[in-house]
Structure 1
Amino acid sequence: MSLPNYQRYIVPLILLALWQWSATLIESADYPTPIQVYHAFVYELLDEQMLFHLGMTLWRVFLAFIISMVLGVIFGIMMGRFPKLNELSDPLLILALNIPALVTILLCYLTIGLVEAAAVTAVALNKIPTVVAMIREGARVVDNDLMDVAKVFRLSPAKQFFQVFLPQLYPYIMASARTGLSLIWKIVLVVELLGRSNGVGFKLHTMFQFFDIAGILAYTFAFVGVIFLLEALLFRPLDKVVSRGRG
């Protein structure tokens, strides 16, 4: 049984009150109050182009997300359905999963240059192996009996794939999409910090140089709010559609 809507906000409100109380008690510039963070948010929003920087970060997140999901799903299905290809590619996948994100980012900037393509490529390369690993496991457990039934009914290869095979992968695709989004936006911030002149990562780096903790928290909460909005408007409706389709 789900909680009433108002009860879901009890814990966040308690934490907010504790934050305000403790920050007021300590009175330190290194520990801003929620009110100070709110004022920093309003200032950045009205006077420092917060929407522009959020938009640039979200654009990079979107591009890297689409690239990593499309390529990750394709390679994951191929590795999951073709054992020989999986044996040949598995060492490469393990290597890709364990290369530090920072190394990939630096190599992309050094080889491609400090350009937008390098930033998006670095983020996508960091996420593709994770998607491949998750989709591969899903492709391995696809019900072959259902695939045989589809062949008996002489469904075309396209219908077999989209109507029988792919729906069995939906939970794995949704899981990789959710984890992918949370990972991608974190890596995008590092990419922007190291080599971009705009975006949330760039702003966080600037604020770090000026020890602007309130500003850093303001941008953090703003971006987390955007992610919550995406969850509510995109992933939850997709979950319902997938659940109905599999039911």
Structure 2
Amino acid sequence: MTGRPQVRAQASTQASIDPPRFMPSNARNQAQTTSVSPASRRDRWLRLASLLVFVLVWQIGALIADNHTLPTPAAVLARIWDEVASMALPGHLAVTLGRVVVAFTAAMLIGALVGMAMGRWRQCDAFFDAWLVLGLNIPALVTIILCYVWFGLNDWAAILAVAINKIPTVIVTVREGARAVDPKLLDVARAYRLSRRTTFLRVYLPQLVPYLMAAARSGLSLIWKIVLVVELLGRSDGVGFQLNVFFQFFDITGILAYTLAFAAVVLTVEAWMLRPLERRLTRWRG
């Protein structure tokens, strides 16, 4: 008789200590947000501290070296302001970003479709594997020169050269994602007689999202660089062309000014577009 009240008392005490196992979704989401936000704030402070350390090291290096060899951060910022006021920097930056967007979109679409086909069908993988190895190992400079020779010094040749250099890396990443798709989930979709469109959008494609985002991030980092080389070799506008002009006049301040402006755009795209998009698309995994 004395055992049941003791067990009941222990259960009530444990229930008062432990949080409820089942809670409404709003409360659960709020608890997760509260637990994540301190880490997020800490990451922001660490990124800010890293940026400040970089500027400090730069300033110390500029004081040690000659100003003509390494300008100070203040001198570079002043040059950026002058270039923005004259509309030279926004104009060249807009042209380069336009080429990046077109080449990136084409490379992602073509690379994703071919990668999914190679990951899905063994015969397709065997047929295109040699092409893929060849595309991965041809230097970007060779592709750029050939496109300019074959199609002329125009924007379409430049964009084609950039896309050709990026497509193989997208194919490799997406192919591995297609191979990693869980076949049991596809069997469940067939058991519930879902349409092909619904199966692709709700079952197949969400499993490819991490691989697509990895291809997009690596693709942007590669396309930025190739576009500058393309503009340096054969275009009369863009950030790469302007860097070539600064190089001819040994204008290090101008080179660093355009480099910092370009890097700021890259960091903005990464922080305000790619990271939020990846968190939103992979929210179902958590």
TM-score normalised to structure 1 length: 0.96
| 1:131 alignment partner in structure 2 | 170
The alpha-carbon deviation at position 10 of structure 1 amounts to 1.9
| Percent of residue pairs bearing the same amino acid type | 51
1:64 to 103, 115, 124: 103
| 2:280 alignment partner in structure 1 | 241
| 2:127 alignment partner in structure 1 | 88
Is residue 192–residue 201 contact of structure 1 (8 Å, CA) maintained in 2? yes
For 2:69, give the aligned amino acid: D
Runs of 5+ consecutive residues of structure 1 not aligned to the other structure: none
Instruction: Give the Cα separation in 2 of the matches to 1:218 and 1:191.
Output: 20
| 1:49 alignment partner in structure 2 | 88
The alpha-carbon deviation at position 4 of structure 1 amounts to 5.8
The alpha-carbon deviation at position 62 of structure 1 amounts to 0.2
For 2:222, give the aligned amino acid: L
| 2:155 alignment partner in structure 1 | 116
| 2:265 alignment partner in structure 1 | 226
| 1:107 alignment partner in structure 2 | 146
Report the secondary structure of 2:100's partner residue.
helix
Q: Deviations over 1:39-88 (max 9, x none)?
A: 21112111251001000000000000000000000000000000011111
| 1:20 alignment partner in structure 2 | 59
Instruction: Give the Cα separation in 2 of the matches to 1:244 and 1:15.
Output: 33
Is residue 167–residue 246 contact of structure 1 (8 Å, CA) maintained in 2? no
The alpha-carbon deviation at position 38 of structure 1 amounts to 1.2
Instruction: Give the Cα separation in 2 of the matches to 1:29 and 1:225.
Output: 23
Is residue 53–residue 199 contact of structure 1 (8 Å, CA) maintained in 2? yes
The alpha-carbon deviation at position 229 of structure 1 amounts to 1.1
Is residue 23–residue 33 contact of structure 1 (8 Å, CA) maintained in 2? yes
Comparing 2-11 with 167-176, which one deviates more in the overlay? 2-11
Instruction: Give the Cα separation in 2 of the matches to 1:124 and 1:4.
Output: 34
The alpha-carbon deviation at position 245 of structure 1 amounts to 3.2
Is residue 77–residue 139 contact of structure 1 (8 Å, CA) maintained in 2? yes
Q: Deviations over 1:10-56 (max 9, x none)?
A: 23212312321331233341111111111211121112510010000
Instruction: Give the Cα separation in 2 of the matches to 1:113 and 1:142.
Output: 42
Is residue 79–residue 86 contact of structure 1 (8 Å, CA) maintained in 2? yes
Comparing 112-121 with 235-244, which one deviates more in the overlay? 235-244
For 2:82, give the aligned amino acid: Y
For 1:139, give the aligned amino acid: A
Is residue 99–residue 159 contact of structure 2 (8 Å, CA) maintained in 1? yes
Q: Does 2:206 match 1:178?
A: no
**Higher RCO (CA-CA < 8 Å; seq separation 6+):** 1
For 2:131, give the aligned amino acid: L
Q: Does 2:248 match 1:209?
A: yes
Q: How many residues align?
A: 247
Within 5 Å, give how 1:138-177 maps onto structure 2. Answer: 138-177=177-216
The 4+ residue runs of structure 1 with deviation greater than 6 A are none
The alpha-carbon deviation at position 7 of structure 1 amounts to 4.0
Instruction: Give the Cα separation in 2 of the matches to 1:192 and 1:107.
Output: 15
| 2:29 alignment partner in structure 1 | none
RMSD of aligned Cα (Å): 1.3
| 2:231 alignment partner in structure 1 | 192
Is residue 209–residue 282 contact of structure 2 (8 Å, CA) maintained in 1? no
For 1:150, give the aligned amino acid: A
Q: 1:203 to 1:167 in 2, by over 3 A?
A: same
Instruction: Give the Cα separation in 2 of the matches to 1:34 and 1:74.
Output: 45
